[in-house]
A = this chain, B = another copy of it.
Amino acid sequence: MERRRLYEGALRGVARRFGFREAATPMFEEAELFVLRSGENILNELYSFKDKGGRDMALRPEMTAPAIRMFVNGMSNDPKPIKLFYFGQCFRYERPQSGRYREFFQFGAEIIGSAAPETDAEAIAAAAAMIRELGLKEYRIRIGHIGVLRQAISDAGIPPESQARVLQLLDKKRLDEAREAMAAAGADPDAAEAAVRLACTVGGREVLDAVGGGAREYLGAVLDVLDAMGVGGVEVDLGVVRGLDYYTGMVFEAEAPALGAEKQICGGGSYSLSELFGGEKVFSTGFAIGFDRILLALEREGAPFSPAGIDAYVVCASDDAKAKAFEIVAALRAGGASADVDTMGRKMAKALRHADAVRARFAVIVGPKELEEGSATVRDMATGEQSLVKIGDLAAAVRRAG
């Protein structure tokens, strides 16, 4: 949990620097909300239940739908764009595996009410800054445009009812199956092959030349802004599709090679969702970071973490110093140090062992001799060095700098 809070704080810091404000939504909502966003299939993965009032509820599997529901319910008149972030637990009933749990932490952000390439660039820049801030060494960000592939398979003559399936296969790079599905749907073979080629088009800005019309211009503008912001390590991948129908244009993903097959750590794009929840159509761009997954990637890369421990552990050298020990621990805490005190009546050697166990940087030893001089002995637990410190100076002596 301490490691989680450290990284959570890092993400929160970047979000604030980017002008996002934190929001929270309930841990469960009406199951219908998640079906509206993700389709009926989501029901198989939901923790759903009837509440005592007979309503069909579900623990949230993600937080974009709740955030947009909140926007429609109470924030639709706020000045745009609205920049929100949120962090919390989500739930999916699926087979647990490495970095994929039934209860998992998700960090997400939404920029609501703007359809400009600058907005998309802001979202990508924020995601990139977060990944960097966490200290992940190796990652790739790939940007695509859902319109490009949609147009290509439309051009190939795939009827609307078959498009989602074909897009999914292309997204997963199951190309032979995609070819078969397109053939079965009566696609023109050359146009189908062109769609497959597009789905495999990855590279720098130059690959946009393969794209026609609006999408080329739009992604070019996104890349311009990312350049101006100095966001590197971004490539174009026209095969990025994302799973869901509600994406409208730019889509992006980030992955960490350290994770192997399940390497995706972040995904997002521009979308329109509010009209499904009874609001007006509002364009937004958002992304979510798989927090557990990225922590696993950091672990695999050997990112160092050691619990902070406490500044001082106060030990009595004799029974009659006990009240003084409690007075001193209170003074240390009031002075901003983290401090604990023996409450088990342990003898000196055992108490010092406990000081080690709770990772105290210093032991503060309170005995009759020291008290006569208004002092206590401060022992550096790493080196064993001891010095006599006036009681009024103790907090400053043990407190971690900063």
CB of A339 within 8 Å of the partner chain: yes
Within 8 Å of chain B (Cβ to Cβ): is A336?
yes
Residues of B within 8 A of A229 (CB): 326-327, 329-330
Whether B344 lies near A27 (C-beta < 8 A) is no
**A193 beta carbon closer than 8 Å to chain B:** no
Across the interface, do A340 and B19 meet the contact criterion of CB distance under 8 Å?
A: yes
A27 is contacted by which of B17, B59, B81 (Cβ under 8 Å)?
B59
Residues of B close to A129: CB separation below 8 A: 333
> Is A35 on the interface with B (CB-CB < 8 A)?
no
Given contacts A19-B340, A21-B2, A228-B330, contact A27 B345 (CB under 8 A): no
- Asked if B1 and A344 sit within 8 Å, CB to CB, the answer is no
Contact A339:B19 (CB < 8 A) given known A79-B358, A330-B230: yes
Q: In the assembled complex, which residues on chain B have CB atoms less than 8 Å from the CB atom of A307?
A: 21
Determine if B1 and A340 form an interchain contact, defined as CB atoms under 8 angstroms apart: no
Determine if A17 and B345 form an interchain contact, defined as CB atoms under 8 angstroms apart.
no
Interface with B: A45-53, A159-167, A212-220, A370-378, which one? A45-53
Provide the residues of chain B in CB contact with A89, threshold 8 Å: 27
Contacts of A19 in B (CB 8 A): 310, 313, 338-340, 358
Would B27 and A91 count as touching, CB distance under 8 A?
yes
Q: For A49, list chain B residues within 8 Å (CB).
A: 47-50
Binary interface encoding of chain A residues 335-347 relative to chain B, with 1 for a CB under 8 A from any of its CBs, else 0 = 0111111011100
B27 touches A79 (CB 8 A): no
- Residues of the B chain whose Cβ atoms lie less than 8 Å from the Cβ of A26: 103
Neighbouring B residues of A322 by C-beta, 8 Å: 228
Beyond A93-B52, A114-B344, A326-B225, whether A338 also contacts B24 by CB under 8 A is no
Each complex incorporates copies of this chain amounting to: 2
Q: How far is the CA of A129 from the CA of B331 in the complex (A)?
A: 12
The number of chain A residues with a CB under 8 A from chain B is 70
In the assembled complex, the CB of A61 is this many whole angstroms from the nearest CB of chain B, namely: 13
Contacting pair B1 A103 (CB below 8 A): no
Known pairs A125-B330, A326-B225; A345 contacts B116 (CB<8 A): yes
B residues in contact with A17, CB < 8 Å: 333, 336-339
Closest Cβ of chain B: how far from A140's Cβ, in Å? Answer: 20
Question: Is A75 positioned at the interface, with any CB of B under 8 Å from its CB?
Answer: no
Within 8 A of B (CB), among A29-71: 47-52, 59
A22 touches B1 (CB 8 A): yes
7 A-B pairs besides A27-B103, A81-B344, A224-B323 with CB distance below 8 A are A28-B59, A47-B49, A49-B49, A114-B344, A225-B323, A227-B323, A228-B327
